[in-house]
Amino acid sequence: MKRLRKAKNCEIILNYDCNARCPFCYHSQEQIKEFSYRMPFQDVAKALYEGRKNGAFVAYLIGGETTLHPDLPKIAAFARKVGYPYIQVLSNGLKLADFKYVKKLTDSGVNLFRLSVHGPNEKIHDKLVGVEGAFRKIMKAAENIERLGAEITVNHALNKVNYKCIEDTLKLLTKKMGVSDFNIIFPHYTGTMKEHLDMLQVRVSETLPYVRSALRFLEKNKIEVENAIFINFTPCNLPEAVHLMTEWEEPQKDLRDETMYHLEGYKNRIYELAGKLRRKNRTCVKCIYNKRCLGFEKWYFEMFGGKEYRPVLKPRKQLNIKPTYRKLKEFARRLNDTTRA
Ligand code: SF4
């Protein structure tokens, strides 16, 4: 059976507008103002069709806030029609607190909801989302999704406000919400985030003791994770958890053409874009991961330099937290069945 380590996505930015005010948004305020329209249904449909033909099996709809796109149910129904086994919507959860709306989406074919959970409690999450009551709403959204039999996955954007409570956040996700598919994303110092550095900026080395403690919690409690959980980290940050990192290296061959469709009307290959945004230190040549590693973000270097990125000289024993790759195994099984048929 074909071995996969990541699902091939067809990522589409549907819109930039948002009903939250996250100070770390990847998009800049000018971009949000300038491109204030939503991607027309015909363009989304064309991208979905092309992506599926290209072998993508997750239609990953992102924003802005996707639920503000009035055609979202119609888009999901089209994705289902062209054969995506997984239709994933990225959302801040505010509109998903409405059960009827979630039902409309699940009836249309959405079966994965990637919720943006940025803290373990109301105080931190609401502060980071810029909306009072956002934590209560996202918890209600999770309840609605579960009730309707769809799956919750989570994005957690690490920053100065929340890094010290990463362990509590993982407790909330894994114990209370029962989520096994989640991403912990180290800050991308770009977009709106650049305007809020006093509030948000943190060095990778400052976060690591807390991240390690959170990993010990997962390991000690034998908590299963579904995929690699760290994004925008490199092996030298956590040499004992390289198997839990994603997007730090060139992807396997059949994932190299994974595409992102932009609202502005262009598309690009996701990993090539990541490569352009990264850099390395001269000392990286001594690192055992050098040939595979794409390096760390230029934006980080501009802010803090590269001293924290030191070569790994020999392999380290990996933590006993093994991703299950449950959905991926199912994808592979389906692919195999299709090939045999
Ligand atoms: S190659 Fe450089 S950035 Fe990549 S893991 Fe090694 S030291 Fe870190």
Mean pLDDT by 10 residues, the chain (341 residues): 69 96 93 91 97 92 96 98 95 98 98 98 98 98 98 97 98 97 96 95 98 98 96 97 92 79 86 82 98 95 97 97 89 66 49
Q: What was the pLDDT predicted at 276?
A: 83
**Ligand 1 site-directed mutation target among 236, 245, 249, 300, most atoms within 8 Å of CB:** 236
- List b or e across 136-171, with b for residues whose CB sees 16 or more CB atoms inside 10 angstroms: ebbbbbbbbbeebebbbbbbbbbbbbbbebbbbbbb
Q: What was the pLDDT predicted at 253?
A: 73
State which ligand 1 atom lies nearest to the alpha carbon of 294. Answer: 4
Q: What was the pLDDT predicted at 328?
A: 84
Amino acid letter for position 313: L
User: In terms of DSSP H, where are the helices of 221-269?
Assistant: none
**HSE-up of residue 29 (Cα within 13 Å, Cβ side):** 10
**C-alpha–C-alpha distance, residues 173 and 119, integer Å:** 10
Please provide residue 247's backbone torsions phi and psi, each rounded to the nearest 5 degrees: 65, 20
Tokens representing 283 are 């000392």
User: In terms of DSSP H, where are the helices of the chain?
Assistant: 29-34, 41-53, 72-81, 99-108, 122-129, 134-147, 166-171, 197-200, 204-220, 270-276, 298-304, 326-340
Tokens representing 272 are 């090539």
Q: How far is the CA of 312 from the centre of ligand 1 (A)?
A: 7
**Ligand 1 site-directed mutation target among 284, 292, 296, 304, most atoms within 8 Å of CB:** 284
Q: How far is the CA of 67 from the centre of ligand 1 (A)?
A: 38
**Ligand 1 site-directed mutation target among 293, 294, 297, 304, most atoms within 8 Å of CB:** 293
Q: How far is the CA of 292 from the centre of ligand 1 (A)?
A: 9
Q: Is the CB of 242 under 6 A from ligand 1?
A: no
Q: How far is CA 149 from CA 67, 112, 129, 211, 226, in A?
A: 19, 10, 26, 31, 18
Tokens representing 54 are 């290209």
Q: Is the CB of 235 under 6 A from ligand 1?
A: yes
Q: What was the pLDDT predicted at 1?
A: 45
Q: How far is the CA of 250 from the centre of ligand 1 (A)?
A: 13
Whole-angstrom Cα Rg for the chain: 19
Q: For each of the domains in the chain, give its residue range(s) and CATH number, in order of start.
A: 9-340 (3.20.20.70)
Q: Please say whether the dihedral angle defined by the alpha carbons of residues 89, 91, 95 and 99, taken in this order, is positive or negative.
A: positive
**C-alpha–C-alpha distance, residues 64 and 84, integer Å:** 22
Q: How far is the CA of 294 from the centre of ligand 1 (A)?
A: 8
Helices and strands in the chain, H and E counts: 12, 12
Q: How far is CA 223 from CA 88, 163, 174, 220, 235, in A?
A: 24, 20, 8, 8, 22
Q: Is the CB of 161 under 6 A from ligand 1?
A: no
**C-alpha–C-alpha distance, residues 128 and 124, integer Å:** 6
The protein residue whose alpha carbon is closest to atom 8 in ligand 1 is: 236
